[in-house]
Amino acid sequence: MENIVSCRSVTKEYKRGKESIAVLSAIDLTIARGEFAAIMGPSGSGKTTLLNLLGGLDRPSAGEVIVAGERLERLSGSRLAEWRSRNVGFIFQFYNLMPTLSAARNVEIPLLLCSLSAAERKLKVAAALELVGLANRSKHNPGELSGGQQQRVAIARALIADPQLLICDEPTGDLDRHTAEEILALLQLLNRKYGKSVLMVTHDPKAATYASRRLQLDKGQLVYDEATSPA
């Protein structure tokens, strides 16, 4: 099966004065196209750092990061930004919505970088909001939506450019259990029905059961990797 992600001996270090702090140490990892993988581990284990490398938000200190067929560490800043806009959708714990914009306008933001007409953007936004169950909330600002609805808007925004990979950093960390399970079920639907590859960092063992594979990071190293039967 084709891989959407391939990491080879990936190391990430940060400088603190004259000292080098190793966050990831020689990570080898592959994620198959169409897979839903959950990454777990204690705080400081390197989970978010790994997501940032795979999403092209950061660069490794050493090793190869290949995502959607592209060697990310070889791309210039402008080419990396263009690659991200086509291939990766990001979903964060705190939604990162613009408070003064409607749900529809928030979802539309990534399309403003594309050569689409206003009418074409409107159609795509409507389809994305319909997919996440918020067609009737398109004109509401984030402050008029519940936490779960705001996260659905963020998911619609992540989907709007039809990315190959969804990168989710604690997507249910700010939600109650019932709402969290609704969001996880939506991510699972996007994976199973629409073939989206999903890579999710979570502290929640219950959330990880929605994935088909679970990985454990500890002190910058991959210590556990198991295929599972998702919820």
154 Cβ partners below 8 Å, 6+ apart? Answer: 91, 92, 95, 96, 97, 106
Q: Any idea of the CA torsion for 142, 145, 149, 152, to the nearest 10 degrees?
A: -20
DSSP string, 102-157: -HHHHHHGGGGGS---HHHHHHHHHHHHHHTT-GGGTT--GGGS-HHHHHHHHHHH
pTM: 0.90
What are the φ and ψ backbone dihedral angles of 22, each rounded to 5 degrees? -85, 120
27 Cβ partners below 8 Å, 6+ apart? Answer: 7, 9, 10, 11, 50, 63, 220, 221, 222
Summarize pLDDT for 110-153 with one digit per residue, the tens: 888 778 888 999 999 999 999 999 999 999 999 999 999 999 99
**Rounded to the nearest 10 degrees, what angle do helices 147-159 and 118-131 cross at?**
130
**Cα distances (angstroms) measured from residue 225 to each of 37, 83, 105, 214, 221:** 10, 28, 39, 6, 11
120 Cβ partners below 8 Å, 6+ apart? Answer: none
Q: What is the structure's pLDDT at 229?
A: 66
For residue 180, give both structure tokens: 């969290």
Cα gap 29→209, rounded to integer Å:
20
Q: List, in order of start, the domains of the chain with CATH numbers.
A: 35-60+82-227 (3.40.50.300)
From the first residue on, what is the mean pLDDT of each consecutive set of 10 residues in the chain (231 residues)?
91 86 91 95 89 93 94 92 91 91 94 85 94 94 95 94 93 90 94 94 92 92 78 65
Please give the radius of gyration of the chain, using alpha carbons only, rounded to the nearest integer.
18
For residue 183, give both structure tokens: 């969001």
Q: What is the structure's pLDDT at 100?
A: 95
**CB 226, CB 212: distance < 8 Å:** no
